[in-house]
Amino acid sequence: MSWPEKTSPDASEKRTLGQGVFRLCDGCAGTMPANELIDNFEVCPQCGHHHKLAASEWRRLVCDDGALDEWSAELEPTDPLQFNDGKNYLDRIRVAQLKTGATEALEIGRARLDGRPIAFGCFNFAFMGGSMGSVVGEKVTLLFERARAERLAAVLLHASGGARMQEGILSLMQMAKSVAALERLRAAGLPFLSVLLHPTTGGVAASFALLGDVNIAEPGALIGFAGPRVIESTIRQTLPEGFQRAEFLQAHGMVDQIVPRLRLKRALSLLLGHLAPPPCET
């Protein structure tokens, strides 16, 4: 009687064994069940390293019951410049929409935080790097304008590579437009809490992101305009250790607080209790 030959899984099968069941921490290289990291909002329970978190999970973390009465969800980008860098801009938009299930790189709306109504916004970095084009700039502006009209504090979570190059000067114009709306919110005596996630860069960092009444950053977040390599090649100097990271910015007065992700909702609630007007139902 001949026995069948013993076969072993090929290399690809070995690599995928257990895929999706366990995760490797980018901070400590520790291995843990994937569900453990998901349930902990992508914060490593062993070393505290903060991994990227989906926009829907940020909403679940910050907003009561993860609920958002979304504003202006119907706004979608067009292609006024007929931009093509080897791929049509609108094709890139469609790919991003299919990938994320979102229409653009920012969602805004009315939510509650510990029972207090707020105007809430969150960037979606998975959508073209959270870049700001005309629609994102319009949504930021609408967030501040609706907050002013409804007498709400504004809470905006940033994760962005900056202005969207496919829209050229039209994307850069959003910086001035959104900051003007923010100044009208401030003139009305309403607070803006800015949360700086990893990364917050480019035109978003250079406009409204660092103009919060309180600027809160996640540990280790990259925050700045141009990247460190661009700056070093421009000024021909070696940058200080930790340059553009949240801790460096706090030490130099540009960030008010560094708050671990799992404490963020509590920190925002305490700040709103001091800064926001008394809640009123509409």
- Determine the pLDDT at residue 17: 46
- Which residues touch 173 (CB under 8 Å, ≥6 apart)? 134, 137
Query: Residue 16: pLDDT above 50?
Result: no
Find out whether 166 and 182 touch, Cβ atoms under 8 Å: no
Alpha helices in 63-167 (DSSP H): 89-100, 134-149
Choice between 200 and 15, residue whose per-residue pLDDT is larger:
200
Average pLDDT over residues 219-229: 92
DSSP 145-159: HHHHHTT-EEEEEEE
Q: Say what angle helices 134-149 and 168-187 make with each other, to 10 degrees.
A: 10
Q: Where are the domains positioned within the chain? A: 21-51, 53-275
**Pairing mode, if any, of strands 116-123 and 153-160?**
parallel
Query: Residue 9: pLDDT above 90?
Result: no
What is this structure's pTM? 0.90
- Which residues touch 57 (CB under 8 Å, ≥6 apart)? 41, 42
CB-CB neighbours of 253 under 10 Å: 7
Query: Residue 63: pLDDT above 90?
Result: yes
CATH class of the domain comprising 53-275: alpha beta
Average pLDDT over residues 150-156: 98
Query: Residue 20: pLDDT above 80?
Result: no
- Determine the pLDDT at residue 281: 55
Mean pLDDT, the chain, integer: 92
Q: Which pLDDT band holds residue 278 (cuts at 50, 70, 90)?
A: confident
- Determine the pLDDT at residue 144: 98
- Determine the pLDDT at residue 18: 52
Q: Which span out of 26-30, 118-122, 237-241 was modeled with the highest average pLDDT?
A: 118-122
Q: Which pLDDT band holds residue 172 (cuts at 50, 70, 90)?
A: very high
- Determine the pLDDT at residue 276: 87
